[in-house]
Structure 1
Amino acid sequence: MILDTARYLSLHSLTTFSHVLLVRDDAGEPKTSVYGDAERVILSPQTQRRADRMHIRDEANLGTGPLASHAWGVRTREWGLRVAEALRDEHGWEAQAALEMARATLRGVGLNFGSTPNTAFLTKVMVFAPEATGTALARIIEEHRAELEAWVALVAEAAASAERKKKTKGKGKTAAPADEEEDTEAEDEAAAGEEKAPPMPSRIKARLITGLAPADAIDIALYGRFLAEVAGAGNVDGAIQTTAAFSVSPAAIIRDFFSSADDFKIARQRAGTNFTDALARLNAASPFDMAAGEQTPSGYALDERGAGMTGQQNFFNGTFYAHSVLDRVQLRRNLANGGMNPEDVERAARDAELAFVNAFVNAVPSAKKNTTAAPGTLPKLVLAHGGPRPYNYAAVFEKSIHREEGVPSLIAAQRLLKHHAMITKKQRVEPGAVLSYDIATIEFLDSLRDAGMLGPNEVEHPAELSPYCPAGQPA
């Protein structure tokens, strides 16, 4: 069985990007970090993981890919709104009552909400839960409506009582002597304790927490979740590890000065005269008849100089090394712990692996996609291999690659495969499979094969990087 000797699937890729800005820091600059002998541009792990996760989900939503029939999770602050929506639409609650009850019950299980009008019904933290969570929690609330409404009334009464006592104590209160300060603080704490809101009935709380559990959401099983606010809600250790991708060459950042044209100004410049009815003149084919420099009806002369707007944006170039690992055992454990039927766990795990490998190959962060077309980029080399432990090859590029050495992506491919050959020999792990979408890299692989030095099996489709690929029919 694969899991006996290859618990971990290690994935490595080399992808060359041209004039992109896939991720930026809080100042709008490309993210950089010094590694080895040079500063590198980096792509943060969370950026890559979101791109992979959304790629997997988008394929499933289109009814394609191996995970089309599986359940999913949603990461959001809006679960209060989703619960309220389900109470209103599915159980006939009045809208405001549904909102208040949804917030009160989620507070009762440990989630806190914002304090401004815009965030009053948004949780303070993002909660990653199955997509059916809103419906599931609303059903539980409806079943226990009478008990929950009584509990909410008690909570409101306790809060009002505490507020009244606070105002009463504040009136005429003088500073206590130093030797009485500790006693006063203790009394205040005791009084506050007496006014604590009553806890939610335990059996209802337990059911609501179960509604927040990961269940069979495939992306929660893959990527995990951490929900410290709700005890017992089911934190999940992710089955995927991701490193920050980084450029194999020193950082190459382009400061791009740009100017944007004002269409009305350009129209006047082309005609050589001013005009009064700007929109009509813009769409007219005949020359403008207003004399140059003549004032507009609004009383000021139109400025004909320069661009409509100028500014600066940053791009970067380079070949990036990316690395992710799938823990096959952890994935199966997460699916089983989520409540999936034992007979379905193995099939779901294999489908998830195929979908993840496909996303690792194809997913690209979508930042500035309309002005860079970055999502159209495919990797020049992808290497996949199993092993009893993960294998991270980032150290291969501690010494950065410079232009005088040759084409960086080819030099990087040579280094990566040479290092992998050494690891397979010394660690005695499987050579795995390799995939390329670059002619020069494919020719390099051909030369290694002809010399009997290509260890990995060259494949033609991402699914073939996994041993679970259906025979003869790549997923």
Structure 2
Amino acid sequence: MTKQNLYIDLNVIQTVPSSNINRDDIGAPKTALYGGVTRARVSSQSWKRAIRQSFKKDNIGLGFRTKKIAELLAIEIQNTDPSLEEELALKRAISVLSAIGINFDGSKSKELLFVTQGQVSRLARYAIDNGDELAKSKVKIKVKNLIEEQFQYDHTLDLALFGRMIAADPKLNVEASSQVAHAISTHEVIPEFDYFTALDDLQTDDSTGAAMLGVVNFNSATLYRYANLNVCALAEKLVKEDLLNGVEAFVRDFILSMPTGKQNTFANKTLPSYVMITIRRDTPVNLVSAFENPVVSSTGFVGPSIRKLEEEYLATQQFVNPPISNLVLSKTDSQVGDQVINLSELLEQVTAALSKVVQDENINS
């Protein structure tokens, strides 16, 4: 059977109290202009890092972004062949990476490189087996191709989901299997400021005034969060046994994670009020258009935001094919899809629906 497209849409409504979870260059919460008004915004990069940190807590193997790739590779070379001295191991490491266009400032690369431990191990083995070839002043195209090949295997879940872009050598790029939108508030926000003072505990009785003054920027918002996952693209990067577990981990940790900016100041960790997961064949659908006309309310934004999101979902059905499955986990009654009672049931039903498609169509076979 011909393999078809398979997408998962994740839609979340989450209210966040006074907070500053993602700051701009002047320390204020990030914002966006949408629908003619200012919205609270949390960047996709910020939330993807939060997801990766959640993966780490769940003991899911991760890649790493680093400028110390040559040092790490040198250590792996020495671990693989203890007879090589540290200086020679580092020289070979830099030679391997330089052959594919990575530039160095001393022993550190000039750009962050996203690699996995498996890829570092492959590169180390190559460096040991091909030391003489690497020592030549001019690296042949064949050698460059063989080094590039080492980056095509051993993808971790985070690398497969979020991709890799290396300007020095586009052949090392990995197309992301997921897309994460910037979260924005469903309503207009007005920036607020917390003026604070601090006293010196050891000041004398006759001293007056504060020892420190400052201002912290913050806002509060009900956020619409969206991400999608191309299951077939993910299947091309992971071994069969890891595919469904990887999907479940991404869905779970997208729902539960939160960036940690200023969390000790505001204790703002909340959980979603509403989650809708749609499994589709034809195309991902971001439902942010539900909030192009901002929610206006004096009695809370969560309820009206959920209603507008579900209305938008129903309105989009005239443009897309019926989904394979549409599941809702909500603190209130839902008007769309199949409502589940808790997160465990949601994850079980997503996995069951995907498992059937994966098996029937030999995805990741």
- Aligned partner of 1:258 in structure 2 is 196
Q: In the alignment, is residue 397 of structure 1 matched against residue 291 of structure 2?
A: yes
- What CA deviation, in whole Å up to 9, does each residue of 1:69-96 have, x standing for no partner? xx53222221111012223444233333
Partners of 1:330 and 1:14 lie apart in 2 by 27
Alignment-mate amino acid for residue 323 of structure 1: Y
Partners of 2:88 and 2:109 lie apart in 1 by 18
- What CA deviation, in whole Å up to 9, does each residue of 1:84-113 have, x standing for no partner? 222344423333333333223311221011
Per the alignment, do residues 100 and 73 of structure 1 end up closer, same or farther by CA in structure 2, a change over 3 Å counting? same
- Aligned partner of 1:312 in structure 2 is 215
State the number of aligned residues. Answer: 349
Q: TM-score scaled by structure 2?
A: 0.87
Query: How far is 1:372 from its partner?
Result: 2.3
- Aligned partner of 1:85 in structure 2 is 75
Pick the aligned partner of 1:133 from 119, 127, 140. 119
Please, which moves more after superposition, 363-372 or 14-23? 363-372
Contact 1:353 1:466 in 2 (8 A): no
Contact 1:111 1:229 in 2 (8 A): yes
Per the alignment, do residues 310 and 223 of structure 1 end up closer, same or farther by CA in structure 2, a change over 3 Å counting? same
Query: How far is 1:306 from its partner?
Result: 1.3
Between Structure 1 and Structure 2, the one with more helix by share is 1
Query: How far is 1:218 from its partner?
Result: 2.2
Map 1:4-19 → 2, pairs under 5 A: 7-19=6-18
Q: TM-score scaled by structure 1?
A: 0.68
Partners of 2:283 and 2:96 lie apart in 1 by 43
Per the alignment, do residues 466 and 250 of structure 1 end up closer, same or farther by CA in structure 2, a change over 3 Å counting? farther
Give the secondary-structure state (helix, strand or coil) at the position aligned to 1:326: strand
Pick the aligned partner of 2:259 from 365, 374, 379. 365
- Aligned partner of 2:63 in structure 1 is 73
Contact 2:7 2:230 in 1 (8 A): yes
- Aligned partner of 1:334 in structure 2 is 237
Partners of 1:419 and 1:202 lie apart in 2 by 53
- Aligned partner of 1:230 in structure 2 is 169
Give the secondary-structure state (helix, strand or coil) at the position aligned to 2:76: helix
- Aligned partner of 2:359 in structure 1 is none
Q: Tell which structure's C-alpha radius of gyration is larger.
A: 1
Contact 2:13 2:272 in 1 (8 A): yes
Per the alignment, do residues 462 and 372 of structure 1 end up closer, same or farther by CA in structure 2, a change over 3 Å counting? farther
Query: How far is 1:132 from its partner?
Result: 2.9
Give the secondary-structure state (helix, strand or coil) at the position aligned to 1:354: helix
Query: How far is 1:319 from its partner?
Result: 0.3
Alignment-mate amino acid for residue 105 of structure 1: V
Per the alignment, do residues 83 and 310 of structure 1 end up closer, same or farther by CA in structure 2, a change over 3 Å counting? same
Per the alignment, do residues 414 and 200 of structure 1 end up closer, same or farther by CA in structure 2, a change over 3 Å counting? same
Query: How far is 1:213 from its partner?
Result: 2.6
Alignment-mate amino acid for residue 305 of structure 2: A
Partners of 2:345 and 2:247 lie apart in 1 by 9
Contact 1:130 1:214 in 2 (8 A): no
- Alpha-carbon RMSD across the aligned residues, in angstroms, is 2.5
- What CA deviation, in whole Å up to 9, does each residue of 1:248-304 have, x standing for no partner? 121232211111222211xx33xx6xxxxxxxxxxxxxxxxxxxxxxxxxxxxxxx2
Alignment-mate amino acid for residue 74 of structure 1: F
Contact 1:350 1:468 in 2 (8 A): no
Give the secondary-structure state (helix, strand or coil) at the position aligned to 1:72: coil
Q: In the alignment, is residue 460 of structure 1 matched against residue 342 of structure 2?
A: yes
Give the secondary-structure state (helix, strand or coil) at the position aligned to 1:412: helix
Alignment-mate amino acid for residue 148 of structure 2: I
Query: How far is 1:56 from its partner?
Result: 2.2
Contact 1:463 1:469 in 2 (8 A): no
Partners of 2:41 and 2:33 lie apart in 1 by 10
Partners of 1:136 and 1:426 lie apart in 2 by 47
Partners of 2:341 and 2:101 lie apart in 1 by 50
Give the secondary-structure state (helix, strand or coil) at the position aligned to 1:18: strand
Q: In the alignment, is residue 57 of structure 1 matched against residue 56 of structure 2?
A: yes
Q: Which runs of 5+ in 1 are unaligned?
A: 62-67, 115-119, 152-197, 273-303, 437-441
Partners of 2:188 and 2:339 lie apart in 1 by 31
Partners of 1:455 and 1:204 lie apart in 2 by 54
Give the secondary-structure state (helix, strand or coil) at the position aligned to 2:146: helix
- Aligned partner of 1:249 in structure 2 is 187
- Aligned partner of 1:407 in structure 2 is 300
Q: Which runs of 5+ in 2 are unaligned?
A: 354-365
Per the alignment, do residues 428 and 133 of structure 1 end up closer, same or farther by CA in structure 2, a change over 3 Å counting? closer
- Aligned partner of 1:103 in structure 2 is 94
- Aligned partner of 1:142 in structure 2 is 128
Partners of 1:251 and 1:126 lie apart in 2 by 35
Per the alignment, do residues 462 and 420 of structure 1 end up closer, same or farther by CA in structure 2, a change over 3 Å counting? farther
Contact 1:15 1:321 in 2 (8 A): yes
Contact 2:10 2:227 in 1 (8 A): yes
Alignment-mate amino acid for residue 20 of structure 2: L
Give the secondary-structure state (helix, strand or coil) at the position aligned to 1:432: strand
Partners of 1:407 and 1:231 lie apart in 2 by 48
Q: In the alignment, is residue 112 of structure 1 matched against residue 103 of structure 2?
A: yes
- What CA deviation, in whole Å up to 9, does each residue of 1:195-249 have, x standing for no partner? xxx322455433322223343322222222122312533x221111121111112
Between Structure 1 and Structure 2, the one with more strand by share is 2
- Aligned partner of 2:360 in structure 1 is none
Give the secondary-structure state (helix, strand or coil) at the position aligned to 2:51: helix
Pick the aligned partner of 1:386 from 257, 273, 279. 279
- What CA deviation, in whole Å up to 9, does each residue of 1:30-50 have, x standing for no partner? 211211031111111111122
- Aligned partner of 2:312 in structure 1 is 419
Alignment-mate amino acid for residue 80 of structure 1: A
Per the alignment, do residues 454 and 393 of structure 1 end up closer, same or farther by CA in structure 2, a change over 3 Å counting? closer
Per the alignment, do residues 426 and 108 of structure 1 end up closer, same or farther by CA in structure 2, a change over 3 Å counting? closer
Contact 1:214 1:220 in 2 (8 A): no
